[in-house]
Amino acid sequence: MSRRTKMINKIKELMYQPKYIRNIGIVAHIDHGKTTLSDNLLAGAGMISSELAGDQRFLDFDEQEQARGITIDAANVSMVHKYKDEDYLINLIDTPGHVDFGGDVTRAMRAVDGAVVVVCAVEGIMPQTETVLRQALKENVRPVLFINKVDRLINELKLEGDELQNRFLKIIASANKLIKNMAPEEFKKEWLARVEDGSVAFGSAYHNWAINVPMMQKTGITFNDIREACRDDKQKDLADQVPIHDVLLGMVVDHLPSPDVSQRYRVPSIWNGDIESVEGQGMINTDPDSPLAVMITNVSIDKHAGEIATGRVYGGTIEKGTEIFFVGSHGKARTQQVGVYMGPERINTDKVPAGNIVAITGARNAMAGETVTNYGTKIAPFEGIEHISEPVVTVA
């Protein structure tokens, strides 16, 4: 069996096991390293060649599409990551990195359960970091922190032990202030970013390494070793010892919730219907046999396949060749194909159950923000998305 076929089979298996799924977004202030990190995660997980990561921007790179004849949809990429002997399906939803991102970040946040907040160690928490973190928390999306560009603190700013530590502590404290203010009541403590439990990682997306406390314990690598490696031009060794995808995807698996865990607390806050109803309980339990409930988060046009609607399946199972109903616009359409992602590629699977990110072909006239169910079924819509475009509170 080819590697590709094996991977497709693995994804088809994992999509039925919500416990092994993580739906995440990477959010950051512009230039803090979101694109570099996304590329290197995909390359590290073997989903794109490493030559394409880094210098060449993968997520907005469409020449590769022509070269390989595949469909690239920047709205979503997926990877399989082995962690502690188990395979996980990690769906990474793209969030726009521009200042006037309007509602797109919010929409992406609606599809995910967790977020990696990338903060440049040199600049620290910037207004847009606050906005995106706030947006995540408002959608009950759990954050973890990645402090990036640590190589620059060492090589350009020449920071030493305590100075380095203080810089990190300040960033973490600012993030935690927001988390404490905005996380759901029951998670205000649990969701705090903590160095000691590994929900904060440090590294260099550009040089492809990262470290957190669990990884320090496992490898014996200390901050001193990191300082030396940066100074002595040995970051390549660090990338071999503590590759960024291993550390960050491990952090994602350990700290960000799977859909079956997060839907229990997220659905009551993002869906307008009666939680005790059949469809309400279906979503609470990530039940593939309950009435269909999909929230469309992105619509793009594919040269070959036409309109592709990407969305999060919260309840039921969406199937190919069925009539679907748009709850808001009262429109209907027939799904030509439904599938999930493998790297940047869509793979058709005929069915996609609750807990996953689906790509729907043929969902004509679908709009981001729409609630989709099966034709003839009645469900309440997901709540309208409110945008946060200005930070309301400034974190010192």
Residues that bind ligand GDP (CB under 6 A): 28, 30-36, 97, 148-149, 151-152, 204-206
Nearer to ligand GDP (CB atom), residue 204 or residue 335? 204
Rounded to whole angstroms, how far apart are CA atoms 18 and 200? 24
| CA-based R_g, the chain, Å | 20
Helix (H) or strand (E) holding 265: helix 259-270
Distance, CA of 149 to CA of 143 (rounded, Å): 19
354 belongs to an annotated ligand binding site = no
Q: Which is nearer to ligand GDP, 104 or 151 (CB)?
A: 151
Instruction: Tell me phi and psi for residue 216, to 5 degrees.
Output: -65, -45
- 20 backbone dihedrals φ, ψ, rounded to 5°: -105, 20
Smallest separation (angstroms) from ligand GDP to the CB of 127: 14
**DSSP label of 336:** S
Identity of the residue, 98 or 334, whose beta carbon is nearer to ligand GDP in the bound complex: 98
Considering the complex, state which of residue 110 and residue 207 has its C-beta at the smaller distance from ligand GDP.
207
Q: How far is the CB of 111 from ligand GDP (least distance, A)?
A: 19
Q: Residue 357 to residues 8, 26, 95, 111, 190: CA-CA distances in angstroms?
A: 15, 16, 15, 7, 26
Taking the complex as a whole, the smallest distance from the CB of residue 55 to ligand GDP amounts, in Å, to 8
CB of 208 to ligand GDP, least distance (A): 9
Give the SS3 label for residue 94: coil
How far, in Å, are 43, 139, 172, 192, 248 from residue 177 at the CA level?
A: 34, 17, 9, 9, 23
218 annotated ligand-binding residue: no
Smallest gap from Cβ 125 to ligand GDP, in A, equals 14
Please check if 95 is assigned to a binding site.
yes
CB of 126 vs ligand GDP, minimal distance in Å: 11
Q: Is 149 annotated as a binding residue?
A: yes
Was 28 annotated as part of a binding site? yes
Q: Which is nearer to ligand GDP, 132 or 324 (CB)?
A: 132
Nearest-approach distance from CB 231 to ligand GDP, in angstroms:
14
33 is in an annotated binding site: yes
DSSP letter for each residue of 200-215: EEEEETTTTEEE-HHH
**Rounded to an integer, what distance in angstroms lies between the CA atom of residue 175 and that of residue 172?**
5
Closest CA to 265 of 372, 382, 385, 184: 184
Rounded (10°) angle between helices 244-255 and 34-44: 90
Question: Distances from the Cα of 28 to the Cαs of 35, 105, 368, in angstroms?
Answer: 10, 11, 22
**Of the two residues 65 and 123, which places its CB atom closer to ligand GDP in the complex?**
123
> Among 62, 75, 61, which Cα is nearest to 104's?
75
Query: CA separation (Å) from 305 to 241, 330, 385?
Result: 42, 24, 28
Is 31 or 319 the residue whose CB approaches ligand GDP more closely?
31
The answer on whether 236 is annotated among ligand-binding residues is: no
How far is the C-alpha of 334 from the C-alpha of 323, rounded, in Å? 4
Establish whether 244 is an annotated binding residue: no
335 labeled part of a ligand binding site: no
Q: Name the residue with tokens 């039940």.
A: 287
Q: Which of 237, 386 has the CB closer to ligand GDP? A: 237
* Nearest distance from C-beta of residue 39 to ligand GDP, angstroms: 8
Has 97 been labeled as part of a binding site? yes
Residues making up the binding site for GTP: 28-35, 94-98, 148-151
Residues making up the binding site: 28-35, 94-98, 148-151
